[in-house]
Amino acid sequence: MITTIARKEFAEIVRDGRFRWTAALVVLLLVTALLAGWQRYAAYSAVQAAAQGATNEQWLKQGDKNPHTAAHYGNYAFKPLGPLAFFDSGITSYAGTAVFMEAHKQNFAIGRPANDTSSIARFGELNGAMILQVLLPLLIVFLGFTAFAAERESGTLRQVLSTGVSRGSLLWGKALGLGAAVAVVVVPCLLVGGAVIAAAGLETAEEGMAARTALVALAYLLYAATFLFLTLAVSAWARNARAALMVMVGFWAFTAFIMPKAAGELAKAAHPSPAFGTFMAEMKAHQRRGIDGVSPFAKLGRYQGQLFRQYKVSRVEDLPLYWTAVRMQKLEEIDQPVFDLHYGKVRDTYLAQRRLQDRIGVVAPTLPLRSISMGLAGTDLVQQSRFMADAEAFRHDMVFKMNDYLSKAAVDLNGVNSASRFMIANEEVFAIVPPFRYEPPAFADVLAEQVPNFALLGAWLAAAVGLAVLATRRMDLEAR
């Protein structure tokens, strides 16, 4: 029985003029978005790889100089993207793409693509994820809002039920038919996307690509099914078809447009994050007075005394280490907790904001879906923080290696203060710093972050199905 109803529903939807137009639009946009996303991903990755290669080379070929000066020259880390970024570019345009790694200072990422593109780009980026998050639900609403309401208006609803069909099988049959009509539009496009991944040989490019893709697909399926059952519920419950349409379009605008922005504002109010000027002023003041209220210079004085006692000497000239280098390294270690505290606070605030936005998903299913999609595509905050952490670890190691080398190689310069006598190192010394490598977070960690979001989407679907069952059980058979 259910399949018969499904077949009838499917045939009816597909024959309707609405289907042709909306389906054509969605297919056209989805294919365009996937191809454009692919082009953008390929272009970005080429530039990123070339830039990283070039700055690594520049580090080595920076010219003979003092190792500490070399650490000042530093290096850049450029953020690589995982292959699924072509489907969901996430925060890529709004996060920095490059980190300058230098002695004495931790830096924020710079080179945010959105700053260099026209303000028209603020309307959003056309990518596969955007189509599936925004247009797919509307397609479902457009194809499904008449499901019960139109039958009621034309009087066929009573007739159908009088033949002995249960309300339950009518609901499931209609759901199946509507689902099939949507699938006919979307699935071929996604196969094209999958073919692109396979053709480019990317299915093994990142850890757990197959599982990632499957989970992303599952999340979108839960989301689409939620909209499908909500549409059927509203169609059964509403007074007429146009009321059903109004309610569903309203809900769609609410979840897809209003809530992502509103949740952002609410999260910023709940967990305020400092602006650049405030951040810098607070951090520098903290750096000056010392993490624990003891000034860095007082700490350095104490440290020198400690070294003198350790080596049983009474003046810098007798130290077995080059004091200037030891002192600079000590200064790094004194500053590091201040950096970690302040940059860490910003990172934690962003993550707390993101989590709150996900929780607001209780009223808007687009929010948890957005997080799952970005998270699994590797274009999320988690990956950005990981990139920043890797860059900071690299900076720390680079500065340490240069200072450490200098402290051992220039012992004879202790106490010498001259512009003409200082240690000069060459490429061989610079090569003790291995090139920067970004290690994406483990798949299991990414997934763990998204478990609550999957639970939220699951709850949404359960609620939508429950509503649909309830609404069909109680629906009026005749127009009021």
Residues with Cβ within 8 Å of 359's Cβ and at least 6 positions away in sequence, in order, are 452
Q: In this complex, which beta carbon is closest to other proteins, that of residue 76 or of residue 436?
A: 76
Integer Cα distance of 331 and 450 in angstroms: 40
Q: Which two tokens stand for residue 313?
A: 């000497």
Query: Are 77 and 391 within 8 A, CB to CB?
Result: yes
Name which of 153 and 207 has its Cβ closer to other proteins.
Answer: 153
Q: Which is nearer to other proteins, 51 or 160 (CB)?
A: 51
Distance of CA 166 to the CA centre of its chain: 45
Helix/strand/coil (H/E/C) assignment for every residue in 48-116: HHHHHHHHHHHHHCCCCECHHHHHHHCEEEECCCCHHHHCCCCCHHHCCCEEEEECCECCCCECCHHHH
Please tell me the distance from the alpha carbon of residue 325 to that of residue 402, in angstroms, as a whole number: 9
Output the smallest distance, CB 222 to other proteins, in A.
21
Measured from the CB of residue 343, what is the shortest distance to other proteins in angstroms? 10
In the complex, the smallest distance separating the C-beta of residue 205 from other proteins, rounded to whole angstroms, is 21
Q: Least CB distance from residue 216 to other proteins, whole Å? A: 18
Least distance to other proteins from the beta carbon of 191, Å? 22
Dig out the tokens for 202 from the structure: 């990317």
Beta carbons of 136 and 186 less than 8 angstroms apart? yes
How many angstroms separate the Cα of 225 from the Cα of each of 168, 244, 298, 459, 463?
17, 17, 64, 12, 11
CB of 378 to other proteins, least distance (A): 14
Cross-strand pairs, 150: none
Using CA atoms of 337, 341, 344, 349 in order, give the dihedral in degrees to the nearest 10.
Answer: 180
Nearer CB in complex with other proteins: 192/352:
352
For residues 308 and 224, give the distance between their C-alpha atoms in angstroms, rounded to a whole number. Answer: 70
Q: What's the sign of the alpha-carbon dihedral 29, 34, 35, 40? A: positive
Per-residue CA distances from 456 to 32, 132, 281, 390, 469 (Å): 31, 18, 40, 31, 20
CB of 253 to other proteins, least distance (A): 6
From the CB of 438, what's the least distance to other proteins, in Å?
14
For other proteins, give the closer residue by CB, 54 or 393.
Answer: 54
Nearer to other proteins, 94 or 400 (CB): 94
What number of other Cβ atoms are within 10 A of residue 361's Cβ? Answer: 23
| Residue 291: partners with Cβ closer than 8 Å, 6 or more residues away | 334, 337, 338, 341
Minimum CB–partner distance for residue 163 and other proteins (Å): 26
Between 83 and 137, whose beta carbon lies closer to other proteins?
137
- Of 78 and 220, the one with the shorter C-beta distance to other proteins is 78
Minimum CB–partner distance for residue 149 and other proteins (Å) = 8
CA 35 – CA 29 distance, rounded (Å): 10
Return the number of the residue (94 or 454) whose C-beta is nearest other proteins. Answer: 94
Residue 105 β-bridge partners: 102
Which of 213/385 has CB closer to other proteins? 385
